[in-house]
Structure formats: C-alpha cells, structure tokens
Structure 1
C-alpha cells in the first residue's frame, strides 16, 4: 500500500449534525482533495486504473474528493477521511485473479445422475397401479 497522504490537500467547512452550539461556530467537516493524474507516487498505468475504477468519484478536473463530518473534531475527521481515501485507492488498484472454468469430476457427475435416478424411481413407485 502506497502512502500518498502527502499529496492530499484539505479544506474545512462547517459540519452539520451533533455538536450543539459548536456546530454554528467551528469548521469541523474536512474535505480531502487529491489530484490523481499529477501524483508522483503512482505509475501512469496505476493512475489510469484508479481513474477508471473511481470515475464516479473523480470530478472533471481530475480531483478525487471525499468529505468526513463523522467526528466533532477537525483532527479526527482529517484522519478518518485520509484513511478512507487511502483504502479506496488501494481497492481500486487491486487486480482480481482471473477465474478459469473447471469441469465437475466424472465421479461427481455419476453421483448426481445416480441421485436423479433414485429420486425418479421413488416417485415412479408412488403412482397408483391397477
């Protein structure tokens, strides 16, 4: 996991929610802003992968923005939003393994067919015969 937190800029704003009278005076909500394409930490291919995976979260200027107002303190919100952004980018860079098709073994196929035959015979025996 690459720590690109030095490239993130922060902006504060007034937070809604819990905080009592503090809410109207103190700027506790923190918005983290990161320019994906100008990052020095990632290769061009990694930047493209991040841009593709997170295209719904990246604005027209190429900035990835996230906001946190979960906590009552600015410092805690800054920590939360930084961790969320690092985790989000890490997930975007994850390349899943290619899945290849497998066949059921001959024994498994035979077992399934035998069970079907048993069930069929059981139901056939239930029929009323003259």
Structure 2
C-alpha cells in the first residue's frame, strides 16, 4: 500500500483517493506527442474526501476555481513535460500545493479606529497645506 500524502502534520490524503488518467498531450514532443499519452489528468474528489475538514474543503474549493467540477471533483491537467512520470509528479505537486494553501486559516481582520491624536495631526497638516496653497494665489487688496 502506498504511503499517504501529507498535507499538514495532521491532514493527509490516501493515494487511492487520486484518480489519474493519461491522455495525449499538446506541447513539446514533436511527432512523438501524437503517439504517446504523456499528459496526466488528475482527479481528486474533494467533497467526499474523509480526511479533509469541511472548512478546509470550502477554502480549497474557492482556490480551485474553475478546476472544481459541479460534483466537487478537482481536475488538474499536467502536460508541460515530455515524460509521463514528470507530468504525474507535477500534477500531484500542484494538488498538494493547493491543499496546503487551503489548510491555512486566514487571519481574522480586527477593525480599528484612528486615535484622536492622529486625527488632529492629519487635520493640522491639511490646514498647513491649505495655507501654503492660499499664499500661491494672486495678492488680494488688503484695504
């Protein structure tokens, strides 16, 4: 049995959850590209994965974007290499990177207000700047 794929220290996925199909790829390879199925189409059923928490599934679903099907399956196509094993490892690395990024809980934003002193400094600077600009105008009749 293959070793589990570790996402974080506590979250891992079983390699049997990943389905790979090999298709003819586009890109480098010359005439060989028309004969050999070197591109990899990796499918991972995100919604039915038992090892991923629900909150993480939602975050990964947003990260996956158009790579997520209506059934909740992530589809990753790798065809940048001429070699099937290299495309396979590339697709798995991209899946793991997406899951790792989705495992991080975003920091909650705490709403803050500017201090009274900073408001005063801002208004004082505005009035100084306003006076500078007034002095640039044509002289007015002082009488």
In the superposition, the TM-score normalised over structure 2's length comes to 0.77
Which of the pair has the greater relative contact order for Cα pairs under 8 Å at 6+ separation? 1
Cα distance in 2 between the residues matched to 1:92 and 1:56: 16
Native 8 Å contact 1:5 1:82 kept in 2: no
Native 8 Å contact 2:61 2:68 kept in 1: no
Q: Which of 23, 27, 33 is the equivalent residue of 1:17?
A: 27
Structure 1 residues without counterparts, runs of 5 or longer = none
Cα distance in 2 between the residues matched to 1:18 and 1:112: 59
Change (3 A) 1:49 1:93: farther
What's the CA shift string for 1:34-54, capped at 9, x where partnerless?
1223323223x2465257524
- Map 1:1-130 onto structure 2 (within 5 A): 1=8, 2-4=11-13, 6=15, 7-43=17-53, 45-46=54-55, 48-49=57-58, 52-53=61-62, 54=64, 56-127=66-137, 128-130=139-141
Q: What secondary structure sits across from 1:90 in the alignment? A: helix
Q: What secondary structure sits across from 2:67 in the alignment? A: coil
Alpha carbon RMSD of aligned pairs, Å? Answer: 2.2
**1:30 Cα offset (Å):** 0.3
Give aligned pairs, total: 129
Cα distance in 2 between the residues matched to 1:79 and 1:95: 27
Structure 2 residues without counterparts, runs of 5 or longer = 1-7
